A and B are shown apart, each in its own frame.
Chain A
Amino acid sequence: MPVLEPIIELGRGLFTTLRSMFEKPVTVQYPEERKPVKPRFRGRHVLKRYENGLEKCIGCALCAAACPADAIFVESSENSDEKRFSPGERYASTYEINMLRCIYCGFCEDACPTEAIVLGDQYELSFTDRKQAIYPKDMLLEAVAASQLLTPQKTEPGKFTRSVPEMKDPQD
């Protein structure tokens, strides 16, 4: 039955097409519609804050040291109780990430001793100029919640003396 064979094959093909018309579409109508990212998605970085609004980042530059793409640049300065950015003595006075250089490997997260830098869920990064790709600290810092204070804060002397949070269980 050499004549029938192409017709059967054709029918099968058309059936596949027909069947898919009743299936749920896998495509998403971006940007009107957005898919939630997976929990371990590595998007644009966020610098976290403690509950009281103090920055977690202490300007240690270990993220910059760990960065394989040399995308991070940090300069640090000294905190005081009058003008406190982060707990302890040191804070990042400059914190920049070049998003064009970043390869989103997440090494910076691993290197961070205070869990200050986290790769977030934002992935919509577009720039019209190379300079725009360098995100300074105020763009990276997490927004302040209603209960939090902006940095720098005036703090009680002797209260925030430790840079690295006390991790009672190092497995944490």
Chain B
Amino acid sequence: MTKFEPVLTRNTRYPDSEKIATYLAHGGYETARSAVKMQPDAIIEMVKRSGLRGRGGAGFPAGVKWGFMPTDAPQKIVAVNTDEGEPGTFKDREIVERDPHSVIEGVIIAAYAVGANRAYVYIRGEFFLGVKRWIKAIADAYEQGCLGKNIFGSGFDLDMSVHRGAGAYICGEETAMIESLEGKRGSPRLKPPYPAQIGLFGLPTLVHNIETLACIPHIVGRGPEWFAGIGTAESKGPKIFSVSGHVNQPGNYELPLGISLREIIYEYAGGMRGGRALKAVIPGGASTPMLTASQVDVPMAFETLKAAGSELGTGAIVVMDETTCMVEAACRLSKFFAHESCGRCTPCRVGSVRLYEILERIRRGKGQKDDIEFILEIARGIDGNTFCPMGAALVNPARSAIQHFRDEFEYHIANQRCPVSGKPN
């Protein structure tokens, strides 16, 4: 195993990495300084060529998104999504707490490329330290002339400010985040129009996850070919994987896309805790379908995980060992989604609660004969019929758990107790 030279987390090894002085000392804002003198189109072209895909979960090609931004609109906005709410994910938090300037640099380049003069940061309200670091970083950036009027003497203006969310998972969805930023109830908007056409305050808006933005200075600085050289055919660049669960060393690991799940778990995360056997892995955060131990050789990339029946999502790897009851795991995750449903559309508002209630009754040993079929049927009623992608997300835990561990569900229903712990829950 050759050690991967960190890109996004390269600065976090320094003490006081969140400070602007540290960032500047290690070549910070140099790329932005030169980028604001380039042709905007050239930057968009570089991002397109780099093959960068969004790191927020959906994996939409970033360059294409930039290309959607209208060129003739007088006012445009860049919105920075730091509303990291996906269970299992804690990568954005690390970036914002330990290297916020790398994101600001990405924002400057992105805003310059698409012609936006205003950037809004939306951050999860619970990230107290993150909020403080964001505010401090932006203030420092203004002081150093990296933000504000006439950045780096280029004539380009960019203002940036931080807004805290009030604790809603759904606000990680770009249109819901925009609604929340506007001071409204956090629920998704009808698409089309897409944010690139009508976004925040009715203006064309480029919405990006901060990890995506953190990649930008590297693409522009080191060239898209260098970036595209990392990763697989359809998934380029480095990625921060958040590993949690029954491993010896949970944490964030920045690795190239395409690395196998096995390698991450056993080599980077220190292997399974207590030497127990691996049972299931959620590869991309709570909303992605689970994989079993037999699928652990799958490379962590958009296309390979899709082929394996799951998704890369946010790259949050939740590892479960043999002591885990899959009914309980599915139940707990479903409870989260039922709690986080915004209530806008019927299948999610009602379906999420129904799904949880049925899983809960199976878990308690009160399951009924047809409950498994029933769950799958409800899942069919929700998936694809909801207003936003959360519908698919909320059925994934239950549906994939049944797909891979149906016998456990059947055992729960038939014997009113858990096959793993042997006890009624």
Are A and B in contact, CB atoms below 8 Å, in the complex?
no
- A contact residues vs B (CB 8 Å cutoff): none
